[in-house]
Structure formats: C-alpha cells, structure tokens
Chains A and B, each alone.
Chain A
Amino acid sequence: MAIFANQVNKTYQSGEVTVQALRQASLEVQDKKIITILGPSGSGKSTLLNVIGGIDRYDSGSIKVGGTVLDQLKDRELTDYRRKFVGFIFQQYNLIPTLTVEENVEVGRELSQQPLDMKDTLEKVGMWDKKDKFPSQLSGGEQQRVAIARALIKNPQILLCDEPTGALDEETGKNILKLLKFVNEQYGTTVLIITHNQGIGEMAHSVIRMKSGEIVDSFENENPVDPEKVTWS
C-alpha cells in the first residue's frame, strides 16, 4: 500500500516544555517498497512511524495510507485500520510471556479475515520447531522472528518496524533483515524500518533522513543490496 503524508505536525507537551516531534513532515512511499528511516535520537522517527501506524495522533496535516485517510478517524475506526492493514514490530519484541510461540502468533491470526497459514508462516520465520516454547526460552533473535510472524500472519499491507535489529548482533540482525525483505518480495508488503544503523539503508528502495522532527533528506536507492551484504555498524 502506498503511504502519503502531507505537512504533518505533532507536538508533545510535557510539563512546561513543548517538543515539536514532527515539523511539516511530508512523505510519499510507493506500494510494495522497503523504506528505511534514519536519524539521530529524538529526531521524530518513532513518532512518524506511530502516526502512520495509527497508534498516535497528529496535530495537523494529513496522512493517507492506501485508501484510508487517517486524519479524522475515531478510535474505533483507527483500531479497525490497524487490524486490517498494519503490522508492528518492536525493538523489545513484546511477546506475551504466558503464551507459547504458536499461541503468540495465533494472537495475530485471530485478528484477520484472511490470515496466512500458521505452519507456513512459522516455517518461513524458521520457528516451526520451537512452536511450543515460551518466549523466556528463546533468544532475542528468535523472539523477534516470532514477533514478525505475529505481524505477518494477519497478512498486513504495511509492516512498521521500530528498530527491529536494535537489540541483536550482526548475524541475527541480518537474518531478520532477510526475513523482512522476503516478506516484502513474497507478499508485496510495504515495509518501513526505523534504524540507527546507516548500513541498513543500503537494502531499502528508498531512504529518509530526519532531524528535529523534519524530513531533511530522502532519496531512492537504484540498486538495493542483499541484506547479507549491508555494512553493519
């Protein structure tokens, strides 16, 4: 699904201090692409991702994802939008500790009208063998795979990943990136990846740079490289 953001503003008020997290941010993402968002800490990357994903609201401007304009949606409609179209991947995985791998993925599956096949999905992320394990019995990379499977199984149109490899080492991190690329190619899912890791930009179709809430730069990548070959930093 294509994403259009037009002059989006967002301020946070915490006590006396007002922080402008997004400043006239405009963005155009084509359908079925991988986009990475780069930028220093506090530059508004997560905020941008969250407003696109419909778990946060913006003060002004407009966002359109596929055919849905998010500007005036009520809570309930926003929930339905997320349910139908959006998959989230967090840096901290956020699995439910009392459910097994398979059950955690089931949590995502139940939300969808046309979910993917459970076994197929778990096999794709390489977790079928461990489907009966609990999150506490898994490594960080494995947990992130489960989180991806949970997002993936509901067959979302866009996948929003906030530092998916932030807590992982190079090898595991690259495996996750490969998985995301595979998802993009196989299902045509639009994938947004936030990262501190400059190198990850090399695998994306386009790269966005943010600074102080503004999108300062964006460019297309003519030849995205294989995730295996990105420069890890």
Chain B
Amino acid sequence: MILKKSVYRTLKEKKFQYAGVAVLLLLAVMLYVSLSMAITTLESRNETFSEDYKQESFHFVAGGSVTDEQLSLWEDEYNVTLEKRKYADFEVDDSTVRVFTTTESVNTPYIAEGRAPTSGQELAISKVYAEKHQYQIGDAITLDEREFEITGFVYLPDYIYMVEQMTDLLADAEKFGVAVVSSSSFSVNAQTEILGWTGNGDVPDGFREAVSEETSLLQFVNSEENPRIGFVETEIEGAKGMTTTLPLFILALSIAMVLMLMKRRMEMQRKEIGTLMALGYRKKELVRHYLGYAWVIGLVGTVGGLTAGAGLSVPLSNLYANYFNLPALSMFDWDPFVLVIGFVIPLLLLILLTTFAISRTLRTEPLTLLRPKEVSNGKKSWLEKLPLLQKGGFIRRFRLRLLVRNKARSVYIFIGVMFSTVLLLFGLITFNSMDQLVETTYKEILKYDYAVHYQSLMTEETDEEQSPFIMNELGLVDEDVKITAYGIENDNAFIQLSAQGESLQSNLSEGAIISAPLAAVLGVGEGDEIHLQNSLNSDTMHVEVAAVADLYIGNNLYLPREELNDFLGFPEEAYTGTWQKQPPENSGNVYMVEDKQKAIDNFESTTGATRASVAGMAIFAVLIGVIVLTLLTNLIVEENSPSISLFKVMGYHDKEVSKLVLSVYTPIVLIAYFVSIPLASLSLEQTMNTLVQETGFLMPTDVAWWMVVIGFIVILLTYWLSLGLSKRKLKNVSLQEALKKQQD
C-alpha cells in the first residue's frame, strides 16, 4: 500500500514521540530478557553442577569419631552415600582460606583450569579468591608456614555461595576462600565433617536420630538450610519475581503511551480517514494501515530490546557467576520461552490493543470524520462547569481548562512521575537501609564482639567479661519454620534488644522478644502467641510476643535463660555459648567463634554492588521519567499549537506562552511526587516481607527526610529537562502552520 509511505514520513516527522515510546518498550524487553537469560544460565549451571558433582544432601559434625565401618553400616541401612571430609582454616593476608580434602563421591571438586592437586605440596583454590588476591596457577601460597603450589582453580558444590560462617549474609572473596588438597596430604590438626548424598536430596527418615544415638551431634545441616547451597536458589527465585514485575510495569506504561499516541494520531487524521473511507477503502485496510505505527514501534522495541537484552545477559551472567561460585558448565542458556515472552507477548499485546483503539475510531461514520471536529466536543464537561473554573481572568481559566480538557494527559503525567519516584525511592531506601541494618543490628543491639559457641553444654560460672547464653534451634507447631532461640541474661551488657532506640530488655519478663524477620515470617506482632516445639523431643510451649526488636537479621527469638533451659530440659545454669569482648583464650572446648567485626566487614565490603544497582535504578527512574514527561508535554504543545500560535500572534513571548501552557502541570507533578513517597515505602515493605522467608533478613524501609529532598530535586530536574525539550518544540510552532491547521 502506498499509504505505508505516509506512516514512515509521519514517524520521521514525529520521531521524538515515537522513538520515546519505542525506547520505553525496548527498556522493558531488554530488562526482562537480560535478567531472565542470566537467571536461566545461572539456574542451569547450578543444576548441572549439583547433579554432576554430587552436591551433598546434608552434612554433619559428630562429637566423637565415627569409624568407616559405622559409615558403611549407615550407608546400607539408609541407602545413602557418606564420605568423610577434613578441613582446616588458615589465615592468609588478612583473609581466611578453608582447605578441604578431595572427596570422591560427595561434593566432588570441579577443577576449572589447571589440574587437580596430587602431591602434598599442591592445592587448587577458588577462582574468585585467587583473582581478588592476585594468585595465578603456578604461584605459591603459604599456609601455616607450609608452602603449596597452586595447580588449578576449584569449585566446590557445597560452597556455591562462599560464606565463611553459615550465618554470614554476604559472601566476600576478599575475606574468605576455599581450596582443596589431595586427601593423603592433610596432616594438620583438622576438623572432620561427614557428607551425605541421597538421590532425592532428602535426609532419610530416622537417619538423624540414628546418628545421634551413636554419637553426639554437634551440627547437622541439610542442604535446604545451608546458605552456601540454598542461597543461589533463593536468589534465583527472588530475581525471577523481579524479572517480571519491573519490566511488566514499564511494558504497561509503554503500551499506554502507544495507545495514547495512536488515539492522538487518529484524532489528527480524522479528515484523512474520512477521505479514505469515502474513496472506498475498507475498514480492514485502514486498520492495517494505521497499525503500521504500532508495528514499527513494536518491532523496534522488541527486536532492539531482545538484542540488547541478549547482549547484556552475558556480563550479567558473569556478574552472577562471580557472586556465586558456579563453574561455567554452560555458557549461554536460553530458554526459548524467554524469546516468546520477551518478543511475542509484548508485540501481540501492543498490536491487539492498538487494533482495538483504531477500530473504535473507524467505527465513526466517514461523514462525521470529514466534518470539522464534532460540535459536541465544544460542550463543557461537568468539571468545567464547576464554579471554581468560571472565576478568574482569562489566563487562569485557560490554564485550568487545559488541565481539565486533557484529563488523560494529567493522569499519565501523574503515573509517570509516580513510577519514577517509586523507583528512585526504592533505590535510596535500599541504599540507606544497608547502613541502617548494620547500625542498629550490629552496633545498637549486638554489642558483643565475639560469640563463642562450645562443643558441649556448659554450667561453670562465667567471668565478668562474658555473658552466657543458650542457643537452640526450635520449630513451630504446625508450621515449617526454623527459629533460632536464645536464652539470655536479663541484665547483660552484650545484647541490648531495642526498637526505635528504646530498650526492650525489661519486656523479657513478659514473654519473648523476636527479631523483625521472624515477626514478618510468622506474621505476628506484640501480644500474639507463638507455639514453640522442641524438634528433638516434640515438647511444646506457648510464649507471648512481648516485643519485636529492630534486629534485621535472622529468625531469632529471645527468652530469659532459665525459661529456655527449663523448656529444653537443661539445668537452670546451663549455657552453650558466651558473648564477650575478647576472643577466647583457650580453644579446647570451643566449637566455633563468631567474629562480629568480620560479619560487618563482610556486609560492608559488598555494598559496592548494591551501590551500583542503586545507581542503575536511579538512572532508570530518571530515564523513564524524562521519556514519559517529555512525550506528554510534547503532545500538549502539539495539541495546543493553534492556541499557542494565537498567543504568539497576539504578542506573547515564547517564555510566557510556555508558562501558560506547560507549567500548568507543575502541581500535578508535585502532588504525584508526594503521594508516591508513602507508596514507595509501603510497597517496598511489602516486597521485603514476602522475601524475608527466603533471605532471612529484613531491610528497614523508613523514608528519611534527606531521601525526600534528593528525590524531590531529581524529579524536579527531570521535569524541567522534559519541559526544556518541549519548549524547543513550542518555539518551533510556526504561526502560519498552526493557523492553517485551525482553519480546516
């Protein structure tokens, strides 16, 4: 059809507007495609690695030694594969290297480059650790005055998320790495853990009980509770939500914009449509013709987005790969579904909705279209009849009428600003809550420097510098939640439970104090009851929630020590650990030492990545804001060009005209901004609450005054930028052309 040319020329003439919506669409598709492809790659690497390299189903540490014969007996009885693995930690350049013996049937190491260590002087080390510390294959590394040669880079199936302690939130290769040596060459004073593998990943029924009958169990961790294994999946799940929601929002926004542009185009071309109809063009042909716009925008947006997304997914996958220690068993995994959802669905949606919008206009009789615009449009709407709009001078009435007449524009401006603001505040809040989380959790509440966990139950007096506590994992009646219960001293200097800066310590006498994540997971608050269950003997206990502390990490519950001991059947004076300011002097009975500073460092050294993503979010917010606002103000100028040229003819300056026509929307922008603030806070809180079950920590989502100021400045600048862009257009409104348009 020759009419196609008309589409291309119009697109060229209005490239600003159409490119704007195409970019919006492109962003949506790009975001979706890159994230989902990166995640698919991550997911498939994770699956392949854990299956092919026999990722453990569980591991445990026994108090006494377990013989190989005993292992064989359990293997036969419970149909599991068991293997012992020794490990020891070494301090190297201010970091910890955990060295493991090479296993053969569970958690088999994957050597990515170089070769596996064979002799006593060789080891293979984790690649990210080596990169952070500038070790290359062939280099020597000294562990405890013993020199080893690095023969290769290794990945361990149970250290995909490489955290030192299982309670650590963030992995940091600067501080911690893993390595393997050949089994024979490990002669140091090492710990032993027993790894278990079952085909389906579950712990066999009764196995745990059988082991604890035979020996004391210091630790028993199944893979679901092991963050080094499970965190990847958590992250994948979380990211999956993100891959759909954000792009979906942008997609909806861009489709709304396309529809608006289409409506506008049809409005401008009423006469042309009428003429074509009178000439004998069929509705179907005209629909096809006008759909040309949607096709061009849709194809540019989706194909561009797909290409950009596929390109972006590679560095994104690598970023993930650095974050998680997953070998690149596969490079580039696409799910064909990603293509379908990233390409077919947006395009289909766009075309269908535009078809609908076009058909509606085409339902009008050709004669009506040929006549100068409807008489009925001259009618005042009920809004315009409001007394408020009848008063005031001409300028005031003109501006108010502009607002009222273009209700849809006002609504879109509102939505656009809201979307940008929410995105921007998401970024700012996340940025801030990282600091706040450290501040309140680690500085205001957890005042100890070291938490020392003992191998067995202790009863002897602690000294002044220590505070004893009992720690035990508890379950809930009828609910699949694991709670870390602490029995603490009421008056101790090492842990000060508080909320909003107020001490809650005295509330301990009234019941349990729980952490914010636990409150979110259970959906309980002050005054509610919790039904605790001892997972070993199925004893149960009711406790009332006395308060929720501003403790943002962990599913923790605090009770007075005697009370918890009583429930657990321990002597009143018993404790399993102490909090203290100094590291423990003799390590004989010590099972594990938590170093708080390490946890903080760990947390903070990783905020770099967060900072980057916050910056990304802010850029996104501004970009979307600019596109949406510019598009809308541009349209407003276009639609009002007859009035604008009239003002110009009358002798108004461009500046005055732009004030008259464009700044009408300033109040809407302001209102939208302030409405968005609580919205952002609430929706982020909601998101955090739904994620807490998987992440185990909660981010404070309070909005601070400085965020409001920064957000305000950014949004205002965005608005001004788009006004500036539209002012250029306003300047270019030619008197002659606008008057001509008014004529017909």
A residues sitting closer than 8 Å to B (CB atoms) are 14, 50, 53, 55-56, 75-76, 79-80, 82-84, 86, 88, 90, 92, 94, 96, 98-99, 103, 106-108, 110-111, 150-151, 154
Contacts and interface: CB of A to CB of B under 8 A. Distances in A.
A98 B279 contact: no
Nearest to B282: A79
B2 A111 contact: no
Residue among B275, B276, B277 facing the most chain A CB atoms (10 A cut-off):
B275
B367 A110 contact: no
A22 B56 CA distance: 90
A79 B375 contact: no
Given A94-B274, A111-B280, A154-B280, 7 more contacts: A82-B279, A82-B280, A92-B271, A94-B275, A98-B9, A98-B13, A107-B2
Contacts of A151: 279
Interface in B462-508: none
A88 to B, nearest CB: 5
B282 A94 contact: no
B1 interface: yes
Interface of B: 1-3, 5-6, 9-10, 13, 271-272, 274-283, 365-367, 370, 375, 744
In the A-B complex, the 3 residue pairs with the smallest Cβ-Cβ separation, listed nearest first, are A83-B280, A82-B280, A106-B2
Residue among B5, B13, B274, B279 facing the most chain A CB atoms (10 A cut-off):
B279
Contact of A76 (B2, B276, B278, B282): B282
A79 B281 contact: yes
B277 A96 contact: no
B369 to A, nearest CB: 10
Contacts of A154: 279-280
A58 B2 CA distance: 33
A85 B148 CA distance: 95
Tell me if B's interface is mostly helix, strand, loop or mixed: helix
Contacts of A92: 271, 744
Contact of A99 (B5, B13, B279, B365): B5
B272 A150 contact: no
A110 B1 CA distance: 7
Contacts of B370: 55, 90, 94
Contacts of A84: 280
Contacts of B282: 76, 79-80, 83
Contacts of B10: 98
Residue among A84, A99, A150 facing the most chain B CB atoms (10 A cut-off):
A99
Contact of A56 (B9, B275, B276, B365): B365
Nearest to A56: B367
25 contacts: A55-B278, A56-B367, A75-B283, A82-B280, A83-B279, A83-B281, A83-B282, A88-B275, A88-B278, A88-B279, A94-B271, A94-B272, A96-B6, A96-B275, A98-B5, A98-B10, A99-B2, A99-B3, A99-B5, A99-B6, A103-B5, A107-B2, A107-B276, A111-B279, A111-B280
A161 to B, nearest CB: 12
B667 to A, nearest CB: 35
Residue among A55, A84, A108 facing the most chain B CB atoms (10 A cut-off):
A55
A88 B370 CA distance: 12
A96 B366 CA distance: 16
Given A90-B370, A98-B13, A110 B2 contact: yes
B376 to A, nearest CB: 9
A14 B275 CA distance: 23
A137 to B, nearest CB: 13
Contacts of B274: 94
A150 B278 CA distance: 12
Residue among B2, B9, B366, B370 facing the most chain A CB atoms (10 A cut-off):
B2
A96 B8 CA distance: 13
B278 to A, nearest CB: 5
A107 B5 CA distance: 11
B5 A55 contact: no
A166 B49 CA distance: 82
A76 B362 CA distance: 13
Contact of A55 (B9, B283, B367): B367
Contacts of A90: 275, 370
A63 B653 CA distance: 57
B272 A108 contact: no
Nearest to A103: B2
Contacts of B283: 75, 79
A75 B363 CA distance: 10
Contacts of A99: 2-3, 5-6, 9
